[in-house]
Amino acid sequence: MSCIPQTDLTKNRIEEISSSLAEPAWLSKERRLAWEKYIATDVPDPKADEWRTINLNSLDLSKLKTTKLNPNLGSFETALPDGGKLPKEMSAALKQYKEIAGFIWQTEKGTQHVYLDPDLQKKGVILLPLSLAVNSHAGLAEKYLTKTRKFSHDNKFSLLTEALFNSGIFVYIPKSVEIEKPFLLGFDFVGNTCEEAVFSRLLLIAERNSKANIVNVLLSSNAKNINASPSLSLVSQLNELYVEAGAKLSYAELQDFGQHVFYNSRLNNYVHKDAHVDNLSVAIGAAQSKVDVATYLQEQGANSEVLGVVFGTANECFSYNTIQEHNAPDTQSDINFRVALKDQSKSMYQGIIRVDKKAQKTEAFQSNKNLLLSNGAKADSIPKLEILADDVKCSHGATVGPVDPEQLFYLMSRGLSQKEAEEFVVLGFFNKVLAQFPVPHTLEWLQGIIGETLCTQFQSQAELKAEAAVLVK
């Protein structure tokens, strides 16, 4: 991996992107500051815990070409799109949720479709491509995008994303506006060749006492048409969720990229007084996945729940790093990550709970369970506690092992093969986490997506779900 790319990923691209999108001067300045920090930041150490599962040599930054944005930013629609024209994951989501507050569909070439419920628009809700929002809502965008530098991003890829992002979404929920229907966001890395790069940002603001549900789908629908290459494409995301006092935000993300993608993601949750955030991360595809989920509990009464489901196949590698920072008293956080691996896939889960000395009465819990479905699969779990306060309740637990033989025996006694029985167990294993996410219909939608990935010869999805439900513990 080249420390400073010599071709397309250069400082000159900042000016090209800013100019093509007619960005304000303050944003160009933010990009340049991020670039300078990127240059000053060391290349990740492949021996470090959070990177040793990832094959950095599979990504050659010097060969990557950033996608060129289409100046046509797509259309603003009065209705949702025809699900039949979308990838299966998005089509299934539209069918399952039925009622959608807003919808935005992007590819690496630009925004293709934007829809926002007219009643919500009248209430001041904003759903836009980020490239438009930085001008049409410059005050809001500048206020929050310039906050990013106050928090440490020790991931070199995330700094590169700050500098060169060429796609993104802006969501704004005004004070005291409560929305039950979910917003459905989607990004399709269509890329026709390897060695492409796309950088994306999500800025989501939930003002005081507001409520919103967000579902974000990240995929590569053209994956089967990509020719094999020794060097991968890069999809890098930086997502910033600002949850102001008394607000409630639920955010789910499905990642399903092809084997030609190196995926990097940094999700930052900033949670304020008496606010609550729910995160659900589901990963079922990409050659390499490096994901950081950081939650900053900034004020008294802030609380969060972070959930994760990872299913690895072939030679896929996953590295998930969760960070819970308790910076105020009377805060609470829970993390529940479950990983199932088959073939030669690998995962590393690292979870850190940090409690500041002023964060008395903190409660934090972290759980990571791993199922190994083959002799070649490998999972590591590294929980860490950094506690400076003396009146706290913090704990963690981790397990790594094969499928419970009693569960296999039960299912095989009912006529299933060992392979089918294992897949049933995996879905039941995941259901426990998926069922915790509070947005209605998310469980059913993800059961279908994961079930299709897991199961090749089952009698029916209905039977799969019924059997899996028996195994939920």
One-character DSSP codes across 203-269: EEEE-TT-EEEEEEEEE-TTGGGPPP-SS-EEEEEEEEEEE-TT-EEEEEEEEE--TTEEEEEEEEE
Q: Which of 220, 165, 192, 164 is nearest to 5 (CA)?
A: 164
Amino acid at 11: K
Phi and psi torsions of 341, nearest 5°: -130, 140
DSSP secondary structure code for residue 178 in this structure: B
Domain boundaries, the chain: 11-299, 407-473
Q: What DSSP line would sit under 268-284, residue for residue?
A: EEEE-TT-EEEEEEEEE
Tokens representing 298 are 């900034």
Give CA torsion, residues 69, 124, 297, 50, to 10 deg: -20
Based on the number of CB atoms within 10 Å of its own CB, is 35 exposed (0-12), middle (13-18) or buried (19 or more)?
A: buried
At 329, which amino acid appears? Answer: P
Residues forming a β-bridge with 435:
none
Q: Which residues contact 143 (CB under 8 A, 6 or more apart)?
A: none
Give the pLDDT score at 243: 98
Nearest to 374 by CA among 329, 343, 412: 343
Question: Kind of pairing, strands 110-116 and 102-107?
Answer: antiparallel
Q: In the prediction, which pLDDT does 407 show?
A: 82
For residues 243 and 241, what is the distance between their CA atoms, to the nearest angstrom? 6
- The label of the residue with tokens 């603003």 reads 76
Residues 6+ apart with CB under 8 A from 172: 124, 125, 126, 127, 137, 140, 204, 205, 207
The pLDDT, as a whole number, for residue 97 is 94
Position 458 scores a pLDDT of 43
DSSP codes, 289-337: EEEEEEEEE-STT-EEEEEEEEEE-TT-EEEEEEEEEE-SSS-EEEEEE
Task: Going from the first residue of the chain to its last (473 residues), give the mean pLDDT of each consecutive group of 10, the final group possibly shorter.
Answer: 51 86 92 91 87 89 76 68 86 93 88 92 96 92 82 76 92 98 93 83 97 96 70 92 98 94 95 98 94 96 97 94 96 97 95 96 96 94 94 94 85 82 86 94 92 61 53 49
226 touches 189 (CB < 8 A):
no
Which residues make beta-bridge pairs with 299? none
Q: Which residues in 198-233 are b (16+ Cβ under 10 Å) and which e? A: bbbbbbbbbbbbbbbbbbbbbbbbbbeebeeeebbb
Three-class secondary structure of residue 185 per DSSP = strand
pTM to 2 decimals?
A: 0.92
Helix (H, G, I), strand (E, B) or coil at 16: helix
Q: What is the dihedral of CA 104, 107, 108, 114, to 10 degrees?
A: -30
> For residue 185, what are the contacts with CB-CB under 8 A and spacing of at least 6?
103, 104, 169, 171, 202, 214, 215, 216, 217
Backbone torsions φ then ψ of 268, nearest 5 degrees: -110, 120
A 10 A CB-CB count for 190 gives 18
Largest CA-CA distance found in the chain, in angstroms, rounded? 68
Distance from C-alpha of 275 to C-alpha of 148, rounded to nearest angstrom: 20
Q: Are 332 and 361 in contact (CB under 8 A)?
A: no
Q: Provide the angle, in degrees to the nearest 10, between the axes of the packed helices 138-145 and 25-40.
A: 20
What distances in angstroms separate CA 134 from CA 40, 124, 302, one per listed residue? 27, 16, 29
